[in-house]
A and B are shown apart, each in its own frame.
Chain A
Amino acid sequence: MRDVSIVGIGQTKVGEHWDKSLRDLAVESLQAAMADAGVEEADALYVGNMLGGQFVGQEHLGTLIADFAGLRGAEAFRVEAACCSGAAALRQGYLAVVSGLHDIVAVSGVEKMTDALGCVTAAGLAMAADGDYEASQGLSLVAIHALLMRRYMYEHGAVNADFAMFAVNAHRNAVGNPYAMFRRPISKDAFEKARMIADPINLLDSAPVADGAATLVLCPTERAHEFNEQPIRVAASAVATDSVALHDRRDPLFLESAYLSAQRAYQQAGVSPDDIDVLELHDAFTIMSALSLEACGFAERGEGYKLGQNGNISIEGPTPICTMGGLKARGNPVGATGVYQVVEVVEQLRGQAGPNQVQSPRLGMAQNIGGSGATAITHILQVQRT
């Protein structure tokens, strides 16, 4: 099995792109990534997308985007794993290169959500949950996370305000990211006054729906220097699953899939949580930030929310998370998010994170989660040893 590196990144701004279609966004990011890698062709394209059919009436995205990006003839298909479709597409791309089957592989994540009305978006996202036993009973994705947050607060004695710093930190970092959707800071006070969406989840607990696309170009590490002076090695790629339905989890307050995926990744990379310099976790809701930190071993059970205090999670702190805004402030174009996370880790490891630069990072981790913790896909990236 070969070693895999990332030699190109591309991304669109995340936002409400009234004037751009799904294919416009995907092609824009793909062309940017291919230019970054200095390639004009690719052997394969894997497209991560959750709801193209539902939101814009378009399936068959791998082929469509390959064609419009000038890659007609290449291997291409769409990959779907709900909210971690982006990381799943990267997993697919990684497998294609690590197996020796393909050399130049592009991985794009794209989602176009804002043309759909709010009720359509909510119904679409609820398809990440169990259709028969959760969604059809009236549980939206935000409602499911509200149940989780309420139970967490009860068992661990946390209050709403304890989650504020996850949102505050994300927004603070987004200010320095030109691709982020919300480039303005928010205060703890604003968080506490934000209106409820599904009690105890308020507006500022929740990542926004958005449009966006991001792309990575992968190649075998041995060839990486042909394409980029700063290739970033994929030290680990690991997927793990749990039950889709929250009520079927062994312990709903422990993200078993995130734990397993992280453990597998640490093992593959030969590292531990202490070695991780940058963490792009799946902050779809602030409760997920707390639970992810616990599942990945950055905090003890029931203590994840405390990491948000005292600057621990800031860029200058010991456990920098959401360094370019996270899902909360960079935005969450669902199927694209997993690729944005990895693009951002690459920016950090290359030293290209601008005002958000973590000091001399060597290892970065990105974890993308599907549904309320049903699927977790973790990638660990490493600065190439020269």
Chain B
Amino acid sequence: MTIDSLLLKPDREVGIAGYGAYVPRYRLPASEVSRVWKEGQEPPPIQEKAVPGLDEDVVTMSIEAARNALKRAAIEPGLIRAVWVGSESHPYAVKPTSTIVAEAIGATPHTQAADWEFACKAGTEAIQAAIGFVGSGMARYALCIGMDSSQAQPGDALEYTTGAGGAAYIIGPREQSLAYIEASYSYVTDTPDFFRRPGQHYPQHGHRFTGEPAYFKHTQTAGQRLMEELGYEAGDYAHAVFHQPNAKFPLKAGQALGFSKEQLKAGLLVPVTGNTYAGSSLLGLTSVLDQATPGDRVLLVSFGSGAGSDAFSLVVTDLIEERRQRAPLTRDYIARKKYIDYAVYTRFKKKLVMH
């Protein structure tokens, strides 16, 4: 027996009934990292990154993003039958983030809740599952969140880009959607490019190994395959969003698949937010949805180390224009900022060990 089709398509068509972004207000200029660690000699790879405040974490940020999604979907939270949060920085190793979020937004108790994990694609894989959950008729709505407050070893190159933020998506029936999902596809291999063992505070990464055999292999294959199976080319898309660990990778990945800088522009936020890990491609998508017009086709390709990519082909509907006004736009969160220096950053990110 073989697979009939590589495309993942549910029996009933589904889409995004509501979406919501969240980016915390504090910003660490990348030049600060260079100043402290490289005497300012190293040119920073991005402009600045978002940093959560002292009383923010994946739970609080997810709740705010979820509330934004609910405003746009305009549904009773009790209709949400799954609350799924994907992150690399869940506040607890054992105790789900999802139940706290579910309760805070009023989705409990008749709901599925679970935390998801697959490095930076923990959010999009929740969406893959939600497509099935809703598409099968098991539930009318499912809430999926990709959110992170990422950490890097002080002095490591990653410290320039480890940002915080993410987005929430309510998956619902196509008729209720501001963008419907044509099909999706996932491509996965066992590739240990980036990992963290239990008890380790900071992750380890394989330097150049994280590039070609990890990020590029998986994003290229997933994006290429999805488009081929659907019979589309880059020219059929108004926008494309890729996982954004830095500014170079998504541009290179997109251009290799035939996308122009114009098509990649709306969804490219990493220069001003940093890499929001499980929130990265999903936040890029909120920015695209904030600007898209009905009929626009959008490609979304996430990447999670370990490794794999989820790819989605979406088409924006007539409902977008009215729905998006109901909650803050991604650019509103990006514009809302307060700069901090490296010293305050170490305090906020709890890098100073105190006894």
Contacts and interface: CB of A to CB of B under 8 A. Distances in A.
Interface of A: 16, 18-19, 114-115, 117-118
Contacts of B213: 18-19
8 residue pairs, one from A and one from B, having the closest CB atoms: A18-B213, A117-B207, A118-B207, A16-B208, A18-B209, A114-B208, A18-B212, A16-B212
B212 A117 contact: no
B257 to A, nearest CB: 21
Contacts of B235: none
Contacts of A118: 207
A311 B212 CA distance: 36
B33 to A, nearest CB: 17
12 contacts: A16-B208, A16-B212, A18-B209, A18-B212, A18-B213, A19-B213, A114-B208, A114-B209, A115-B209, A117-B206, A117-B207, A118-B207
A19 B213 CA distance: 9
Nearest to A16: B208
Nearest to A116: B207
Interface string B165-208: 00000000000000000000000000000000000000000111
Nearest to B42: A195
| Residue of A19, A115, A117, A118 with most partner-chain B CB within 10 A | A117
The A interface, classified by DSSP as helix, strand, loop or mixed, is: loop
Contacts of A16: 208, 212
A349 B313 CA distance: 57
A118 B206 CA distance: 10
A16 B216 CA distance: 15
A112 to B, nearest CB: 13
Interface string B205-249: 011110011000000000000000000000000000000000000
Interface string B36-48: 0000000000000
A115 to B, nearest CB: 8
A367 B158 CA distance: 40
Contacts of B209: 18, 114-115
A55 B353 CA distance: 34
Nearest to B207: A117
Nearest to B211: A16
A360 to B, nearest CB: 41
Contacts of B207: 117-118
Given A18-B212, A117-B206, 10 more contacts: A16-B208, A16-B212, A18-B209, A18-B213, A19-B213, A114-B208, A114-B209, A115-B209, A117-B207, A118-B207
Contacts of A114: 208-209
A21 to B, nearest CB: 14
B345 to A, nearest CB: 25
Contacts of A18: 209, 212-213
Contacts of B206: 117
Nearest to A115: B209
A19 B212 CA distance: 11
B40 to A, nearest CB: 14
